[in-house]
Chain A
Amino acid sequence: MAEESLAIGTDEWVAAHEGRTSGQVQGPVARTFGRLPWWVWGSIAVLVAVVLPLIGSTYLMRVGVNLGLFLMLALGLNLVVGYAGLLDIGYVAFYGLGAYGFAMLASDKFGVHLPTVVAVPVVVAAVSIFGLVLGLAARRLLGDYLAIVTLFFGQMFVEFALSGDAITVPGRAEQVDLTGGTNGITDVDRFSFLGVEFSSDRWYYYLLVVLVVLLALAVRRLDGSRIGRAWKAVGQDPLAAEAMTMPVNRLKIMAFVVGAGIAGLAGTVFAAVQRGVFPSSFDLPLLILLYAAVILGGSGSLKGALIGAALLSLLPEALREPSYSEMVFVLLLVAGLALAVRSWRDRIIVVVATVVFGFVMNLLFTLLHVQGVPASAWTSGPVSTLLGHWLFVPQDRVLWGNLGFVGLVVLLAVLTLVGTRVRPILLPAIVWLSIFVWFVRLADVPSITRQLLIGALLIVLMIVRPQGLFGRRQVEVL
């Protein structure tokens, strides 16, 4: 870059800006990925994706399909939030509109069975129009207010889908059933292209691989294009963009439309894969997960959106099975320890201290005449079998687990308050308590633990690294 410019002094300093900042501002993960060009990583991912069905089971295909859909949504949301900076909290409604639209046009509900090549473009166009309408209505709203209006829009969609089976139309005696209410619309047609019907999840999986790759490539093209740069400008500072004569409102509306279209497309695939659509699939929990994925990856970064989405789509699945979830737990514990304590010497000290602390607690429990359970009752995988020789698990797991949980939260809060001198003293207790609470209580209720971990992840992520894995640290000039 700088070699070509002949300018001396200030200009040269400015020209070297990219080189100066990119290395330092990028996080460690981004640098690791940056070592190889993007298309190498992309090709590896695609290769893995293509080979997977040959060794996988039906469940794996379903996980893959869910992952593919989630990736599409993350890409779309990344465009709207990360690029154009529009806080759209109702984004999942477009997903729902796409799904319901396809269900209405290709199922027994109204007897309409449009062929896939007709139904899908029609639905995507319709959803994009919805995006246009919302964008038009909300173009003058800023930041928080846009968030609020889009939130209302999203909620209105869910409520309408829930109540849409009994719509009183003036002039008609009977109520109209448009959306099937809580029972949704079932018996949705499968996709079929050129006479070939998508008879199993594998077809949809491959379709999604193609779609995700195409979308990712398109977004990458967008990065360097005029529209992409314009969006980023609007996202970072709408006022400056306007001063630079960019048509801010039009750009915002375009972002809404494109985002809505992507979500709508994903929605049609979702409806066909599930063979049915239900209102509860498009509510806030999905939206929170989606936002968590985009933020985790670093909003505004394509790689970030993809990797964040992959992590948050796959890790909850890993948590379902106890012998795998315990490995996830161990990895999290190790990562946490590595981040909290820097030197290897200190880490070893903490581990040893934890082991000692564990034995001390065993003694305490015995002195208090607390009944324990044998290791075979709670161990399931290699990790727990190892720990079974060391960890004391009381019989009343719910009571002790709850006490431990409260104690752990309190200790973690205290940890952030005390100085660096005192911290190493607290750590062994915290590590032991984490292991205790996990195996005594949390591992038994994977559904609750999953939500707890996502919540904790969001909080810790914002405090430790708000820009996510691949994002740039943004400084807001207030």
Chain B
Amino acid sequence: MRAATKILVGMMASGMALAACAGGETPAATSTAPAMAGGSTSGTPCTGAIGVMAPITGGAAAIGGEQLNFAKLAVSDYNAKNGTNFSIVEGDTQLDAGQASTVAPQLVSNQAVIGVVGPAGSQEVESVGPAFADAKMAFVSPSATRTSLTSGAFPTFARVIPTDDVQGPTDADFMVSKLGAKKVVIVEEKTSYGAGLSSAVEKALKEKGVDVKRIQVSQKQPDYSSVVALVDADTSVVFATFQIAANTKALANTLQQQSKKAVVFGSDGSFSADFDVPGQYVSSFAPDIKGIPSSKAVADAYTAKYGEFGTFGPPTYVATQVIMTAAAKDCTGTADRAKTSSNVLGVSIPDSILGQPITFTDKGDVKDAKFFIFKIGDDRKPALVN
């Protein structure tokens, strides 16, 4: 056992020492060439690491896995097109604000990281905002929709999707005018996504005189039968603020099984091939990217490599593009964090894969963001209806 002892002790000691060093300069991805005076970028590929904060493991891994893969695709596409040398650093937060606040300082202290894509959850953004602001680290979220995030509190924050304040009224309006709803049940997911959006929709509906009932469910709950039993016969729409489309499908199936009249309207979190029950509705902040000719290439590339995707992936692609574009703008070999964050709001992507041009307001929101509403046809594919 002697040798084993020594190895074991050595392993512990070096393990601790390594971890101690882990936060410092990482030799890996940084190019050590000094910045060339004159700022010419030709000859030296722009290098930098992009942190991706997403729920890569944990209960919401379905979302985070897709986000991470789209970020990877964006990086390889951009590198191939522009000859840059960007890379990805994972930051698993499990959609938990507490974990996010631990991952953020780690990314900040990793000198190679020049910008962050994420975090995915609105609550996470709140918890990491101050740290990133202090470090002048740009962070662009593909999925945090809480309206208050872009009120100016986080100067280095931007997002590529519209807010709850846009989605709420759009969806409510459709439900009242096109579906003639007088009674709506909102099934709210107990996450920071579900809570904010449900409040926005409820407010918009109540302003139009609709009778609204709100039921909360946990994201992990497999069984909606008890919830569905609470939906009575004159409720015409069940609005589901879920992030996992398969849950919305289960809800719709359960409603049908219990022969309820109500139709399911899923928020943007449900826009995915996983929610394909005919006759239901779903909203999204972009037209279906598979239907946009210029985005088809990206969609096909993703499907070939990783499989099906839903609503959270494509905006991550765009968010990653935003960071890379901002970083590459003044890049002289090694991308610079401070310059990247000051360039972010000026980024313009006229033909993003979301089918809409991306330009930012000075608060970090996308200009003229709209919501689109789809009805799922008998072919189990969504078709635009508004």
Contacts and interface: CB of A to CB of B under 8 A. Distances in A.
Interface of A: 28-29, 31-32, 52, 56-63, 66, 162-163, 166, 181-184, 186, 201, 274-278, 280-281, 307, 310-311, 314-315, 317-318, 320-324, 327-328, 331-332, 334-335, 338-339, 344, 380-381, 445-448, 451
Given A183-B123, A186-B127, A280-B98, A334 B7 contact: yes
A320 B123 contact: no
Interface string B70-96: 000000000000000000001010111
B15 to A, nearest CB: 6
A78 to B, nearest CB: 19
Q: In terms of DSSP, what is the predominant structure of the interface of chain B?
A: helix
B192 A182 contact: yes
Interface string B162-198: 0000000000000000000000000000111001000
Interface in B229-276: none
Contact of B57 (A277, A281, A447): A447
Interface stretch (B106-114, B316-324, B341-349): B106-114
Contacts of B99: 281
B385 interface: no
A186 B1 CA distance: 51
A280 B96 contact: yes
Contact of A338 (B3, B16, B191): B3
A280 B127 CA distance: 14
Nearest to B92: A447
Interface of B: 1-5, 7-12, 14-16, 18-24, 26-28, 56-57, 90, 92, 94-99, 101-102, 105-106, 108-110, 123, 126-127, 130, 190-192, 195, 216, 218
A98 to B, nearest CB: 14
A314 B15 CA distance: 8
Given A59-B108, A163-B216, A307-B12, A281 B96 contact: yes
Contact of B4 (A163, A182, A335): A335
Contacts of B109: 57-60
Contacts of B123: 182-184, 278
Interface centre among B14, B102, B110 (most CB of A within 10 A): B102
A331 B4 CA distance: 12
A60 B101 contact: no
12 contacts: A63-B106, A182-B195, A183-B195, A274-B101, A276-B127, A311-B12, A314-B19, A317-B106, A327-B18, A328-B15, A338-B7, A447-B56
A373 B48 CA distance: 23
Contact of B23 (A57, A182, A451): A57
A201 B130 CA distance: 14
Given A314-B16, A318-B18, A339 B4 contact: yes
A29 B127 contact: no
Contacts of B92: 446-447
A240 B218 CA distance: 47
B5 A32 contact: yes
A59 B106 contact: yes
A310 B15 CA distance: 10
Contacts of A183: 123, 192, 195
A323 B26 contact: yes
A461 to B, nearest CB: 12
Interface centre among B98, B110, B126, B127 (most CB of A within 10 A): B98
Contacts of B126: 186, 276
B22 A318 contact: yes
Contacts of A274: 98, 101, 127
B165 to A, nearest CB: 17
A446 B106 CA distance: 15
A311 B12 CA distance: 7
A223 B218 CA distance: 45
A59 B90 contact: no
Given A28-B1, A29-B8, A184-B123, A315 B98 contact: no
A321 B12 CA distance: 18
A59 B22 CA distance: 9
Contacts of A278: 96-98, 123, 127
A61 B11 CA distance: 23
Given A278-B97, A280-B98, A324-B18, A57 B9 contact: no
A448 B57 contact: yes
A182 B14 contact: no
Given A60-B109, A182-B123, A322-B28, A28 B5 contact: yes
Given A63-B23, A321-B28, A331-B15, A447 B110 contact: no
Contact of A311 (B15, B90, B105, B195): B15
Given A276-B101, A334-B7, A181 B19 contact: no
Nearest to B72: A444
A442 to B, nearest CB: 13
Contacts of A59: 23, 105-106, 108-110
A28 B98 contact: no
A317 B216 CA distance: 35
B8 A281 contact: no
Contacts of B96: 278, 280-281
Contacts of B192: 182-183
A166 to B, nearest CB: 7
A338 B15 contact: no
A322 B26 CA distance: 10
A63 B23 CA distance: 9
A324 B22 contact: yes
A28 B11 CA distance: 14
B15 A318 contact: yes
A184 B23 contact: no
Given A275-B101, A320-B106, A321-B28, 7 more contacts: A28-B4, A166-B216, A182-B191, A310-B16, A323-B28, A327-B14, A328-B18
A447 B15 contact: no
Contacts of A66: 102
B7 to A, nearest CB: 5
Contacts of A317: 19, 22-23, 106
A446 B68 CA distance: 13
A127 B382 CA distance: 53
A156 B57 CA distance: 24
A447 to B, nearest CB: 4
Nearest to A201: B105
A445 B108 CA distance: 21
Contacts of B7: 334-335, 338
A283 to B, nearest CB: 9
Contacts of A344: 3
A310 B17 CA distance: 12
Contacts of B10: 331
